[in-house]
Structure 1
């Protein structure tokens, strides 16, 4: 009788965890804990590579885990992070080097044009718009990197096309990110726990919507051909 009672109790608890209000609260708390853990790993592994060499592989590892969470894939967090970090160390740093160089060139050009006079100063606004487009492309770099198996230049090219074809999801990602940033400014303690993972979640979620739309278009185009 005792064993039967215990089995019934365990089943009820399991059912409560998966359904209803209690189940919803349980899942939210579980997500919060996972996001905090991933964020801590992201910070530690960025420092492990002296930030300069650790940031990009740690960010790729973080986006990989966030993507798996959104896909409901149950994977060991630390092992997946560490494995991805090691595997993508060289490739992600190569991508990071390209992004930093391009960003630095934009920065130098903007500073030069801002302080210029005459015709050169007129180029400031076009270059500013190009810089903003570059920043939007960077938002999609990591989602594209972890979602598709592509070479570096293809990653940048696909990030550009995804950003261009689905601007609504880009706007949504930016607006939600601004809300998250506002909350972190108001509650600084959130920075330690969620400064990377929450933005990764927002960007990856919106990117997934873009990927799904893009896949649907590709399927329809293939069906028309056949």
Structure 2
């Protein structure tokens, strides 16, 4: 029994590793197909949609599904990614400019750009998993991702740690980049965000249920307490 359970877990693990490698390859190919700047957004959107399906246990042909979601979300994916890419480029240029100066004001500006870049990465970690899960007007995704990143700091810290770990591993072993780096980051952040969003939805639903129960109790309370003496 234990041997069978171990074999099943080992098969599931290696199947997931292979799936991540294929996802990584597809993301690179389709990003290049959009000349990089115009391909990153729809490729990331397609990847996160497929990550969520896999997390939910839905089986689908990876190549065909990725191709369909890439084409379907080409415009909206770029609508999400391009503002983030432009903001990231602006922050990088500002940090590079101010960090070269030795005066206090320039160093403060460089530090501010660095902090803003970290927050932008936190928003980006939530952005496409949120796109894969919820139907919102396009501008709302950036707003809601920013709010979620600020309100759930523990989860945001975990996502930033995962991002830093992937960057460190990719720098130490550049051979990971064409096979695992992006795919692993997409899968882990997508899996974590799906858990975070589920917990948040359950919390909101529970709070709404409690509020409804209090409202119902409030309507009944005057009849029960009608004979109570006034304070």
Tell me the CA shift for residue 79 of structure 1.
1.6
In structure 1, which of residues 197, 214, 219 is the aligned counterpart of residue 183 of structure 2?
A: 197
Aligned residues: 211
Distance in 1, Cα, partners of 2:73 & 2:148: 22
Instruction: Tell me the equivalent position of 1:30.
Output: 15
Give runs of aligned pairs for residues 159-198 of structure 1, distance below 5 A: 159-198=145-184
List runs of 5+ in structure 2 lacking aligned partners: 213-231
Q: Report the TM-score when normalising by structure 1.
A: 0.82
- Residues 1:132 and 2:130 are matched in the alignment: no
Q: Residues 78-97 of structure 1, C-alpha deviation per residue, up to 9 Å, x if partnerless?
A: 12101110011011112222
Distance in 2, Cα, partners of 1:224 & 1:145: 29
The structure-2 alpha-carbon separation of the partners of 1:181 and 1:60, relative to structure 1 and needing over 3 Å to count, comes to: same
Report the 3-state secondary structure (helix = DSSP H, G, I; strand = E; otherwise coil) of the residue aligned with 1:75. coil
Q: Report the TM-score when normalising by structure 2.
A: 0.81
Tell me the CA shift for residue 69 of structure 1.
1.1
Are the equivalent residues in 1 in contact too, given 2:126–2:193 (CA < 8 A)?
Answer: yes
Are the equivalent residues in 2 in contact too, given 1:141–1:155 (CA < 8 A)?
Answer: yes
- Residues 1:91 and 2:76 are matched in the alignment: yes
Instruction: Tell me the equivalent position of 2:28.
Output: 43
Tell me the CA shift for residue 16 of structure 1.
9.6
Instruction: Tell me the equivalent position of 1:144.
Output: 130
The structure-2 alpha-carbon separation of the partners of 1:117 and 1:180, relative to structure 1 and needing over 3 Å to count, comes to: closer
- Residues 1:60 and 2:45 are matched in the alignment: yes
List runs of 5+ in structure 1 lacking aligned partners: 1-14
RMSD: 2.4
Distance in 2, Cα, partners of 1:122 & 1:49: 37
Instruction: Tell me the equivalent position of 1:20.
Output: 5
Instruction: Tell me the equivalent position of 2:223.
Output: none
- Residues 1:221 and 2:207 are matched in the alignment: yes
Q: Residues 141-167 of structure 1, C-alpha deviation per residue, up to 9 Å, x if partnerless?
A: 111111111122110011112111222
Are the equivalent residues in 2 in contact too, given 1:16–1:23 (CA < 8 A)?
Answer: no
Q: Residues 9-56 of structure 1, C-alpha deviation per residue, up to 9 Å, x if partnerless?
A: xxxxxx999x51111111111111111111111111111112221121
Report the 3-state secondary structure (helix = DSSP H, G, I; strand = E; otherwise coil) of the residue aligned with 1:105. helix
Tell me the CA shift for residue 224 of structure 1.
2.6
